[in-house]
């Protein structure tokens, strides 16, 4: 599978292998079962977590991580399948959060609030999509950055609606309140994470996903074949935005507050960091990346004053040495080991690293 | 090929479906027995404090100083208030609401603190206060300055211990300008966010109450680094007094440099607490511009040159120990520590609502802020000073007291209910004038 | 507010803002033009340059020394960055941007650690005093000096780009890397040199700006955003675009604060958004 981070390197590489990817490429016969077993194991672990003697606070932290993982997954989808690195998803998720908070203050009931929040998010995603559909690469990044800044400015300025720099406070619905039903909220978040990951996975493996990857790899060729490149990009943005919106709704409930920080550039940057650290386009990457970033930001920072430096250094190291992220690198490594073992078993010479017939590879 | 793909996909769906189903089933069952949070050590003679402030990020200097002030007191007191030990855990929230809440949760749920002190930035303070209240834990705010923290957003467990709302702290400045300041007209320049709005509202109300007229109000976005455009406007408007309110940190020196560079009349200026805090004085003096701001006036609840015995003793002690003259953030942290210590000495180890009521009922006549008490909404009532910059014998710049207004309340002499109602229903924009 | 003297005052304010914008943006746009990197650590070089310049200005009272030392320190850091880190990801857009982002994180925090959070200013001993009268106000000579320096640097860059061999090599490198390498010129050192030049310009901008505004360790991000706005409006890769963009943004910003203050937050980003929608490559940018 082509990862925009590893493309254009002289040696052809595959970023997958043992760890399942969204588009399910890579690996040979039998690895699929192992891949899915690993994912299942993680899922079962998360389901059982509250019963493993973990404290309420730790479940709360895990909830935060899961919500971040959902947002990161939406970014990962866009980067991995469409090759579009967006610095605007903080604003998109944050829009949903603002929608929830505002509706709460108007006294709307939960269902209507959610509908409003998602509708707003889809509208914003559409705007993003329309404004960026003719751009790609660096220009795409800049446009998403610009729109994100504008949304931040709006959140700040439209203070009678958004509460300005103070933001808005809200409350969770009674059935997931923070006092006794925090574990119900945890399961809700977990269930939604699994569902949204599944949705993205299904989309990636569908014909739409294949065409999207075609657009990512060679726009002009797809255009000459008659595909509406802009249409695919906008659609990808909307799908990604929808998932980000759900994470925004959950995020608003999680902290019971929303403020301009939810939509600022730093949030979007942290999402990209999560995606890269975890591994673009992998199924578990967003979760791994979210875990690392959230733990450094919230937990390590209690013990290390210079945690921002630490985060920056980790990020730099990953970009330099393990661009496929944690999950992707593990996949690459295990893949290489398997191939060498298989080839040795077959009595052949060990081939050059990376080149393989059973791996799908692109330039 | 097709069938293998199908079976893989079906398998994946099955796994996911199983996980979701399990999650939902478990959710419907009895809640898990979560490990109980660590017991409060109230029985054993220790008060556990959780201290949150932004020690990294844009507000790093303010957060660090608030922490320094608090720490200084307890270092001197060897972490003891009488027989009671006070144990503080320090956390950084980087000025970010999500991080602030996460830290608050950690301190309350995991570390089992008895009281949370901080955070600093207005929206983080509101969010944390709401959270600690829901957990039955007192929250002491040493420096936060949003009006609503003790008006429409007040709760029984949150106390603003050593600072004032923006409107409260600047109202006397307006009064002074129209009376002793002999200004008939004034123009205001304030940062365009809630702190700036509330500060400007305070000045405007006080000024107009004494017969002054506000000619125009300018609003500078947060993050303005070059004030020359505003300075030119201020000069063109030619009012008797220019009131400027910004957040602490960079805007103060940036504005003063631009204003003095453009030949502005320094006598017309009246700044707020944070535009002319010690940080500003130090950075201007260091760059060799200290003499340009001699005599510049400001209004604040903290004046390091105030002649109160307690203030002078503290300033002397702190400056000798650290080389830094304490500004409002350091004073806030110290004063809250002082307050907690005296309350514990008097009442013994109190937690929860008892701690709060002990604090709000405490008669603190000789605090470093002067004579201080607390009012409805758990807000600090204290003197507000009109200050001017003077160079002392040690060669450094201080804010000395020009005029003192005692016992300034956030209700400003008006009807309490009306003030709270107004705070709740105000238009949340810079059109807010109190 | 339509008094000609007032307008003249504000125009001067806008132009001095533009001078600083140009210094910040020119380095960024040069680096992009040749290397196709948006150097997110640009703000970090600004901050380091500013702190070094401030320290030297306080020590020596000499602006020129402050500028030179800032440039030297930043150039060394830029060299190490480029050799050690960026070469490893040469040619891949996204990793380069992300890498510089990581560097920006680290530098901002380290600066906070070393210099503390107090705002710092350029020492007044290093600055010319007083100003010339304009109406009842005065315009500081220091700002005139900043504008002159920005102009000189702009002209120097134009001359180097168009009239010297180095400039020709760079321009050729922008258009066609392979041919340049084939001609025996070591393109990698050209890249390194350009990165150092870009960083040095940021450092100069930092030192000069510290005489106008206050410097905080977190200031790098604000600066980066402003520079990005200018180069997007002017066109990524074009120095003349950076100049025009800087003047445009500077003047719009200043006059919008007077005439449409409600939009003053957006005055910087609205032109950028408009350009991105209408002509994404910017006013003077080429289609890549």
Q: With beta carbons under 8 A apart, name residues in chain C contacting B281.
A: none
pLDDT at B333: 96
Helices B228-237 + B251-261 axis angle, to 10: 50
pLDDT at B2: 46
Of C58, C118, C209, the CB nearest to B279: C118
d(CA A175, CA B26): 15
Burial (CB count within 10 angstroms: exposed 0-12, middle 13-18, buried 19+), residue A92: buried
d(CA B338, CA B340): 6
Cβ of C93 within 8 Å of Cβ of A137? The answer is yes
Please compute the mean of the pLDDT values over residues C217-231 and round it to a whole number. 86
Residue A226 neighbours by CB under 8 Å, 6+ apart: none
- pLDDT above 90 covers a percentage of chain A that reads 33
Closest approach of B28 to chain A, Cα-based (Å) = 8
- pLDDT above 70 covers a percentage of chain B that reads 89
Q: Is B316 on the interface with A (CB under 8 A)?
A: no
Assign B217 to helix, strand or coil.
strand
Cβ of B12 within 8 Å of Cβ of A60? The answer is no
Cβ of B286 within 8 Å of Cβ of C58? The answer is yes
pLDDT at B259: 95
Of A32, A165, A197, the CB nearest to B193: A165
Kindly report, residue by residue over A166-196, the tens digit of the pLDDT.
Answer: 888 898 998 888 778 888 899 999 999 999 9
Residues constituting chain B: 434
DSSP assignment of A99-152 equals HHHHHHHHT--HHHHHHHHHHHHHHHHHHHHHHHTT--HHHHHHHHHHHHHHHH
Q: With beta carbons under 8 A apart, name residues in chain A contacting C97.
A: 138, 141
Chains in contact with B, counting 3 or more C-beta pairs less than 8 Å apart as contact: A, C
Residue A263 CA to its chain's centroid (Å): 16
Closest approach of C93 to chain B, Cα-based (Å) = 28
Q: B375 — phi, psi (to 5°)?
A: -125, -175
Q: Is C42 on the interface with B (CB under 8 A)?
A: no
Cβ of B61 within 8 Å of Cβ of C109? The answer is no
DSSP element (H, E) containing B115 = strand B115-117
pLDDT at A131: 85
Higher pLDDT, A24 or A212: A212
Kindly report, residue by residue over B205-260, the tens digit of the pLDDT.
Answer: 999 999 999 999 999 988 788 899 999 999 999 899 999 999 888 899 999 999 99
| CATH class assigned to B167-305+383-425 | alpha beta
Of C9, C117, C140, the CB nearest to B261: C140
Q: Which residues pair with B81 in a beta bridge?
A: B84
Q: How confident is the model at residue A160 (pLDDT cuts 50, 70, 90)?
A: confident
Q: Which residues pair with B80 in a beta bridge?
A: B85
Q: Which of A242-246, B10-14, B71-75, B142-146 is least confident?
A: B10-14
Residue C257 CA to its chain's centroid (Å): 23
Cβ of B131 within 8 Å of Cβ of A201? The answer is no
Closest approach of C62 to chain B, Cα-based (Å) = 13
Matching CATH number, B44-166+318-382, of 3.40.50.2300, 3.20.20.140, 1.10.630.10, 3.40.640.10: 3.40.50.2300
Kindly report, residue by residue over B280-334, the tens digit of the pLDDT.
Answer: 999 999 999 999 999 999 999 999 999 999 999 999 999 999 999 999 999 999 9
Q: Is B60 on the interface with C (CB under 8 A)?
A: yes
pLDDT at A6: 55
**The domains spanning B44-166+318-382 and B167-305+383-425 adopt the same CATH topology:** yes
Higher pLDDT, A51 or C50: C50
d(CA C183, CA A283): 46
Q: Is B222 on the interface with A (CB under 8 A)?
A: yes
Cβ of C102 within 8 Å of Cβ of A7? The answer is no
Nearest residue of A to residue B34, measured between CA atoms: A55
Q: What are the residue boundaries of the structural domains of chain B, listed by start?
A: 44-166+318-382, 167-305+383-425
Over its C-alpha atoms, chain B yields an Rg (Å, rounded) of 25
Write out C101-169 in H/E/C secondary structure. HHHHHHHHHHHHHHHCCCCECCCHHHCCCCEEEECCEEEEHHHHHHHHHHHHHHHHHHHHHHHCHHHHH
pLDDT at A351: 52
Top residue of A155, A198, A257, A309 to mutate, by most chain B CBs within 10 Å, is: A257
d(CA B376, CA B397): 36
Burial C176-206 (b: 16+ CB within 10 A, else e): ebeebeeeeeebeebbbbbbbbbbbbbbbbb
Sign of CA dihedral C252, C254, C257, C259: negative
pLDDT at A3: 59
Cβ of B97 within 8 Å of Cβ of A181? The answer is no
**Contact assessment for residue A254 and residue A62, using Cβ atoms and an 8 Å cutoff:** no
Q: With beta carbons under 8 A apart, name residues in chain C contacting A142.
A: 38, 228, 232, 276
CA dist A254 to A64, A177, A251, A299, A322, Å? 7, 10, 5, 17, 32
| CATH class assigned to C8-278 | mainly alpha
d(CA B280, CA B286): 10
Q: Which of B64-73, C178-187, C249-258 is least confident?
A: C178-187
Q: Which residues pair with B92 in a beta bridge?
A: B53
Cβ of B11 within 8 Å of Cβ of A178? The answer is no
**Contact assessment for residue A359 and residue A50, using Cβ atoms and an 8 Å cutoff:** no
Closest by alpha carbon to C31, among C22, C18, C40, C21? C40
Cβ of A316 within 8 Å of Cβ of C99? The answer is yes
Closest by alpha carbon to A22, among A41, A8, A49, A3? A3
ipTM of the complex: 0.90
Of C88, C101, C276, the CB nearest to A143: C276
What's this model's pTM, rounded to 2 decimal places?
0.88
**Contact assessment for residue C273 and residue C37, using Cβ atoms and an 8 Å cutoff:** no
Q: C6 — phi, psi (to 5°)?
A: -60, -40
Of C94, C109, C269, the CB nearest to A5: C94
Give the Cβ contact number of residue A225 at 10 Å: 10
d(CA B150, CA A355): 67
Over its C-alpha atoms, chain A yields an Rg (Å, rounded) of 21
Strands B46-53 and B115-117: parallel
d(CA C119, CA C209): 13
Of B62, B223, B235, the CB nearest to C222: B223
């Amino acid at each position: 599978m082509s990862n925009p981070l590893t493309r254009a390197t002289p040696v052809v590489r595959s970023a997958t292998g043992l760890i399942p990817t969204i588009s399910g490429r890579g690996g040979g016969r039998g690895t699929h079962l192992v891949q899915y077993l690993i994912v299942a194991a993680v899922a079962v672990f998360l389901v059982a977590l509250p019963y493993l003697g973990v404290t309420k606070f730790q479940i709360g932290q895990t909830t935060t991580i899961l919500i971040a993982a959902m947002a990161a997954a939406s970014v990962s989808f866009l980067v991995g399948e469409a090759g579009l690195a967006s610095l605007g998803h903080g604003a998109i998720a944050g829009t949903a959060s603002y929608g929830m908070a505002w509706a709460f203050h108007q006294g709307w009931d939960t269902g209507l609030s959610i509908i409003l929040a998602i509708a707003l998010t889809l509208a914003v995603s559409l705007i993003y999509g329309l404004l960026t559909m003719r751009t790609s690469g660096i220009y795409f990044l800049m446009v998403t950055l610009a729109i994100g800044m504008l949304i931040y400015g709006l959140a700040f300025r439209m203070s009678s609606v958004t509460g300005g720099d103070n933001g808005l406070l809200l409350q969770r619905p009674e059935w997931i309140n923070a006092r006794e039903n925090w574990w119900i909220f945890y399961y809700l978040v977990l269930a939604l994470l699994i569902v949204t990951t599944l949705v993205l996975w299904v989309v990636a493996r569908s014909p739409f996903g294949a065409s999207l990857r075609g657009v990512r790899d060679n726009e002009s060729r797809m255009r000459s074949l008659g595909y509406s490149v802009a249409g695919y990009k906008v659609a990808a943005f909307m799908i990604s935005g929808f998932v980000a919106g759900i994470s925004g709704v959950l995020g608003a409930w999680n902290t019971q507050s929303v403020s301009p920080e939810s939509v600022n550039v730093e949030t979007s940057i942290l999402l990209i960091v999560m995606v890269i650290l975890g591994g673009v386009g992998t199924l578990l990457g967003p979760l791994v990346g979210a875990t690392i970033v959230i733990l450094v930001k919230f937990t390590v920072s209690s013990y290390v004053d210079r945690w921002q430096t630490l985060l920056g250094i980790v990020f730099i190291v990953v970009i330099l040495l393990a661009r496929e992220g944690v999950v992707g690198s593990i996949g690459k490594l295990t893949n290489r080991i398997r191939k060498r073992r298989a080839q040795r078993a077959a009595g052949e010479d060990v081939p050059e690293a990376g080149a393989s017939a059973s791996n799908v590879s692109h330039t | 090929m097709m069938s293998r793909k199908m079976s893989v996909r079906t398998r994946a769906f099955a796994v996911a479906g199983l996980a979701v189903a399990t999650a939902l089933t478990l959710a419907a069952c009895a809640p898990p027995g979560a490990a109980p949070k660590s017991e409060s050590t109230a029985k054993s003679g220790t008060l556990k404090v959780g201290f949150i402030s932004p020690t990294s990020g844009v507000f790093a200097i303010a957060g660090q100083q608030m922490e320094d002030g608090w720490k200084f007191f307890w270092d001197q007191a060897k972490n003891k208030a009488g027989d009671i030990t006070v144990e503080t855990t320090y956390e950084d929230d980087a000025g970010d609401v999500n991080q602030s809440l996460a830290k608050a949760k950690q301190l309350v749920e995991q570390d089992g603190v008895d009281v949370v002190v901080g955070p600093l930035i207005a929206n983080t303070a509101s969010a944390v206060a709401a959270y600690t209240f829901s957990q039955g834990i007192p929250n002491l705010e040493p420096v936060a300055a949003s009006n609503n923290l003790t008006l429409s957003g007040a709760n029984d467990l949150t106390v603003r211990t050593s600072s004032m709302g923006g409107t409260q702290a600047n109202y006397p400045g307006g009064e002074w300008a129209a009376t002793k300041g002999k200004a008939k007209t004034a123009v205001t320049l304030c940062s365009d966010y809630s702190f700036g709005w509330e500060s400007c509202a305070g000045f405007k109300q006080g000024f107009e109450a004494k017969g002054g007229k506000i000619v125009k109000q300018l609003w500078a976005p947060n993050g303005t680094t070059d004030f020359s455009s505003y300075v030119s406007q201020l000069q063109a408007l030619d009012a008797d007094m220019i009131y400027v309110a910004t957040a602490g940190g960079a805007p103060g020196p940036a504005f003063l440099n631009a204003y003095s560079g453009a030949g502005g009349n320094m006598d017309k200026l009246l700044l707020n607490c944070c535009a002319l805090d010690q940080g500003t004085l130090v950075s201007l003096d260091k760059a060799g511009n200290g003499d340009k701001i001699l005599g510049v006036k400001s209004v604040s609840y903290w004046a390091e040159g105030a002649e109160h015995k307690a203030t002078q003793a503290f300033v002397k002690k702190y400056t000798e120990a650290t080389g830094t003259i304490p500004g409002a953030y350091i004073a806030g942290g110290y004063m809250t520590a002082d307050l907690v210590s005296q309350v514990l000495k008097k009442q013994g180890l109190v937690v929860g609502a008892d701690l709060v009521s002990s604090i709000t009922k405490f008669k603190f006549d000789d605090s470093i802020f002067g004579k201080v008490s607390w009012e409805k909404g758990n807000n600090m009532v204290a003197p507000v000073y009109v200050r001017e910059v003077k160079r002392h014998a040690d060669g450094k710049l201080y804010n000395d007291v020009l005029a003192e207004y005692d016992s300034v309340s956030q209700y400003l002499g008006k009807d309490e209910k009306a003030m709270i109602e107004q705070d709740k229903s105000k238009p949340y924009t810079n059109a807010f004038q109190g | 507010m339509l008094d000609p003297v007032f307008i003249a005052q504000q125009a001067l304010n806008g132009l001095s803002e533009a001078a600083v914008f140009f210094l910040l943006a020119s380095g960024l746009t040069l680096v992009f033009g040749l290397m196709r990197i948006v150097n997110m650590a640009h703000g970090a070089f600004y901050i380091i340059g500013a702190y070094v310049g401030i320290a030297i200005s306080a020590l020596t009272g000499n602006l020129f020394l402050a500028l030179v030392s800032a440039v030297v320190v930043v150039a060394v850091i830029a060299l190490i960055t480029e050799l050690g880190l960026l070469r490893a990801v040469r040619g891949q857009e996204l990793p380069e941007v992300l890498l510089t982002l990581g560097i920006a994180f680290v530098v901002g925090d380290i600066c906070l650690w070393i210099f503390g959070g107090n705002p710092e200013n350029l020492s007044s001993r290093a600055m010319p005093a007083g100003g010339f009268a304009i109406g009842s106000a005065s315009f500081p000579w220091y700002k005139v000096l900043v504008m002159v320096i920005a102009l000189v640097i702009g002209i120097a860059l134009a001359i180097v780009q168009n009239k010297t061999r180095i400039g020709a090599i760079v321009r050729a490198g922008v258009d066609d890397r392979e041919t340049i390498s084939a001609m025996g010129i070591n393109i990698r050192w050209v890249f390194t040199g350009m990165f150092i030049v870009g960083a040095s310009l940021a450092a100069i901008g930092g030192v000069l700006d510290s005489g106008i505004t206050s410097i905080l360790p977190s200031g790098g991000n604000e600066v980066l955003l402003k520079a990005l706005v200018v180069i997007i409006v002017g066109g990524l890769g074009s120095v003349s675009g950076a100049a025009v963009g800087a003047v445009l943004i500077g003047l719009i910003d200043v006059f919008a604060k007077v005439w449409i203050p409600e939009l003053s937050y957006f005055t910087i980003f609205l032109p950028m958004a408009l350009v991105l929608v209408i002509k994404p490559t910017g006013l003077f940018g080429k289609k890549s």
